[in-house]
Structure formats: structure tokens, C-alpha cells
Amino acid sequence: MTLKVAARLALDFLLPVRCLSCDRRVSSEHGLCASCWQKMPFYEKPWCYRLGTPFSYDMGAEVWSPRAIASPPEFGRLRSVAAFEGPARDLVHGLKFGGRRDLAGPMGSWMARAGQELLTGESLIVPVPLHWSRLIARRFNQSADLARAVAGAGGGRFEPMLLRRSRRTRRQVGLSSADRRKNVRTAFTVSDDRLADLQGRHVILIDDVITTGSTVTACCRTLLGAGAESVDVLTFAHADVAGEASPSGGKTSLS
Ligand SMILES: [Zn+2]
């Protein structure tokens, strides 16, 4: 046994490595156990060029889903690691409500991988901001933790203070799509002293989960209106609102 292996075994004994989702002991660091890995609803190619939602079969490069065609998003492209269910949902909740800030590193690495087509190295990595009063209550912004991890793993400049939430909004949970849009329409601003840094730049907006897209759409409008060249969105999870993601078009959730 080499010294390195012996040290590793000693460390495993002192600090047992746990599955990030279910806390079961696992052999690899920063990972999931076999059972959670199998249940993790990863998004994989082929996917919609605009919304990053998977297709059941390959229709060629840069193909848009019927939903993206029916209602093109204001952002350029959206990429997400997984659907918002099973272990993906547990991880989002663990980070946001369970205070598991240690999850942000591995979740951010997965996001950097899912969003590698978006990351240019020159991009500004901007988290969806919390209002300061909510930040005080929760003590951290999970999207900022994820954005820092994405920039660390995939490149780009972490910009936690560029976009601000100037108005406290009601929680989006339980609101209709129209009310969600109204709720966040004028909630965001770009700090005056950061306007110059934004001109002509590519922004990657980071959030833990996208639901109807009203929050990122409001952020996107603010950033484009303030001089950003383009905005893409990278989230850990994508909650496809039931019935709104049907291939036949249906209602559009990402407007
Ligand atoms: Zn597990």
C-alpha cells in the first residue's frame, strides 16, 4: 500500500464521503451514490437549441422545439443540468433551504459542463439577485454560490453585484404565469457604477431552478436594456410546468 492510498483510507475513515443527495456513504468524492445517479434526471443531447430541453430523437443541430418557435425566449439559449425532480430537486432544496452550501461546488461543476457551449471565458457570470432584506434573512444567495462555482469550473468573470433586485417581490410560488411576470417586471436594475462594464458583453445569467422563466426574462430585459450584447441562461434544474412543455405547442411557459 502506497503512502497516498494509506492517507486516503485514513481520510475516508475520519471524513466519510457521502452521497450529495441521500447522504449514503459512497466511494467517490463530490458525487452521487449509484442509486441517486440512476434517478438523476439529467438533460442530455439532442436538445432544443434555445431552451435546452431534450428531444426524444435527433433532429439535427440548432433545432428549436415547438415551444421555442411558438414563443421565442428573450434570452439566447437556456441550458440546465437536469429536470427539477428526484435527486435534482433534493439538491436544489438542500442548497436553498437546508443551508447545504457545500453542494454549490459540485452543482456548479455540473452546470459548467451542461453550459459549456455558452461559456466563452470572457462571459460575465451573473447570478439572479436576492433583495437585500431576503439576503439578510437567508444569509446567502444560492444563485450567487452557484455562479461563483460555475465561473471557477468553466471560466468567465463572476459578477455578483452587477445586477440588483431593487424591489422586494412576492414569492413566485403559487402565482399564475401572468402574475409571476407582473410580480418581477420592474424588480431588477444594473448598478450605475457597473454600466460601463456591461456594454457589449455576453452575460450568462445563473439561477438554481427555472420554472416559468418570468424571473430570468425580467433580468434579461434589464441587462439587455442596460447595454449587454447578449444574455444566455444557465440553471441547475428546469421545472417544466405540467402541460406547458407539450411538443404540440400548448401554453408556453417560457415567455
Ligand atoms: Zn444517494
Same domain (yes/no): 170, 69:
yes
Can you give the pLDDT at residue 255?
35
32 CA to centre of ligand 1 in angstroms: 5
Same domain (yes/no): 4, 74:
no
74 CA to centre of ligand 1 in angstroms: 36
Residue 30 is placed in which grid cell? 463530490
Same domain (yes/no): 198, 153:
yes
12 CA to centre of ligand 1 in angstroms: 17
Note whether residue 252 is domain-resident.
no
Distance CA 110, CA 119 (A): 13
Note whether residue 250 is domain-resident.
no
Same domain (yes/no): 56, 27:
no
Same domain (yes/no): 44, 29:
no
110 CA to centre of ligand 1 in angstroms: 16
Same domain (yes/no): 28, 61:
no
Same domain (yes/no): 115, 227:
yes
Q: Is 13's pLDDT higher than 80?
A: no
- What band does 4 get if pLDDT is binned at 50, 70 and 90? low
Q: How many residues are present in the chain?
A: 255
Same domain (yes/no): 89, 124:
yes
- Residues with C-beta atoms within 5 A of ion ligand 1: 19, 21-22, 24, 33, 36
Average pLDDT over every residue of 228-233: 98
Note whether residue 111 is domain-resident.
yes
Average pLDDT over every residue of 197-220: 95
Note whether residue 245 is domain-resident.
no
Given CA atoms 240, 243, 247, 249 in this order, what sign does their dihedral have? negative
**Does residue 146 contact residue 107 with C-beta atoms inside 8 Å?**
yes
43 CA to centre of ligand 1 in angstroms: 19
**pLDDT, tens only, 84-131:** 999 999 999 999 999 899 999 999 999 999 999 999 989 999 999 998
Note whether residue 104 is domain-resident.
yes
125 CA to centre of ligand 1 in angstroms: 30
173 CA to centre of ligand 1 in angstroms: 27
Share of the chain above pLDDT 90, in %: 63
pTM: 0.85
Can you give the pLDDT at residue 149?
97
Same domain (yes/no): 86, 51:
yes
Most confident of 15-29, 75-89, 234-248: 75-89
147 alpha-carbon distance from chain centroid? 8
Same domain (yes/no): 49, 31:
no
Question: Which has the higher per-residue pLDDT, 61 or 221?
Answer: 221
Mean pLDDT of the chain: 86
Count the helices and strands in the chain (H runs, E runs): 10, 7
Note whether residue 253 is domain-resident.
no
Note whether residue 121 is domain-resident.
yes
Domain count, the chain: 2
35 CA to centre of ligand 1 in angstroms: 6
- What band does 151 get if pLDDT is binned at 50, 70 and 90? very high
142 CA to centre of ligand 1 in angstroms: 21
DSSP strand E in the chain: where? Answer: 78-83, 124-127, 157-158, 163-165, 188-190, 202-210, 230-238
**Does residue 53 contact residue 46 with C-beta atoms inside 8 Å?**
no
Phi, psi dihedrals of residue 220, rounded to the nearest 5°:
-60, -45
80 alpha-carbon distance from chain centroid? 6
Same domain (yes/no): 181, 78:
yes
- What band does 253 get if pLDDT is binned at 50, 70 and 90? very low
**pLDDT, tens only, 55-90:** 988 888 899 999 999 999 999 999 999 999 999 999
Same domain (yes/no): 113, 3:
no
Can you give the pLDDT at residue 125?
98
Average pLDDT over every residue of 136-152: 94
CATH of the domain at 85: 3.40.50.2020
Considering just the CA atoms, what is the radius of gyration of the chain in Å? 19
User: Which residues span the domain enclosing 9?
Assistant: 1-36
Partners of 204 in the β-ladder: 125, 232
Rounded alpha-carbon distances, angstroms, from residue 63 to 46, 60, 72, 174, 254 = 9, 6, 13, 32, 17
Note whether residue 113 is domain-resident.
yes
20 CA to centre of ligand 1 in angstroms: 7
SS3 readout for 125-173: EEECCCCHHHHHHHCCCHHHHHHHHHHHHHCCEECCCCEEECCCCCCCC
Q: How many CB atoms lie within 10 A of CB 59?
A: 12
60 alpha-carbon distance from chain centroid? 25
39 CA to centre of ligand 1 in angstroms: 9
Can you give the pLDDT at residue 14?
55
Residue type, 191: S
Can you give the pLDDT at residue 168?
73
